[in-house]
Amino acid sequence: VARWEHKTRVLSRVFGSPHAACYCLGAVILVLNCVRSHCFTEAMKSQPKLEDWDCHWTYYSGLAISAVGTLFVISSFLALGFTGTFLGDYFGILMEEKVTTFPFNILDNPMYWGSTAIYLGWSLM
């Protein structure tokens, strides 16, 4: 959708501005994220548990991994802002300069790694 918008600018015209279009696409992405999280939770509930892994150590390890992932995702969002997070560059909304603060000074793709950590930790929990 973002590449299509970049080539055609249809969403920007329909919504009246690139900012409005970007915010609407961001809202759709957030709703789809909730659907994905719900489906993931339901899938995890229906899976059999490994008895050897059903202990406090595994639970708290999963909790810690999820917490680190959440830190990366939230700090990335705060560093980039809404339009930076939700494909604003495809709408022509560019940042003044490259973000090099935490967590981008530690990882190249902190949102991807953070999301992966969240789901891995959730699986362990």
Could you tell me the maximum CA-CA distance found in the chain, to the nearest angstrom? 57
Tracing tokens 């719900």 back to the chain, one arrives at 38
Q: What's the mean pLDDT in 58-87? A: 96
Percent of the chain's residues with pLDDT above 90: 90
Q: Using 50, 70 and 90 to split pLDDT, how confident is the model at 53?
A: confident
Whole-number pLDDT of residue 54: 82
Question: Are 121 and 65 a contacting pair, CB within 8 Å?
Answer: yes
CA 106 – CA 15 distance, rounded (Å): 37
Confidence check: pLDDT of 26 > 90? yes
Beta carbons within 8 Å of 25's beta carbon, 6+ residues apart: 1, 2, 5, 11, 86, 87
Which whole number is the average pLDDT over 45-71?
A: 92
| Segments making up each domain of the chain, as ranges | 1-124
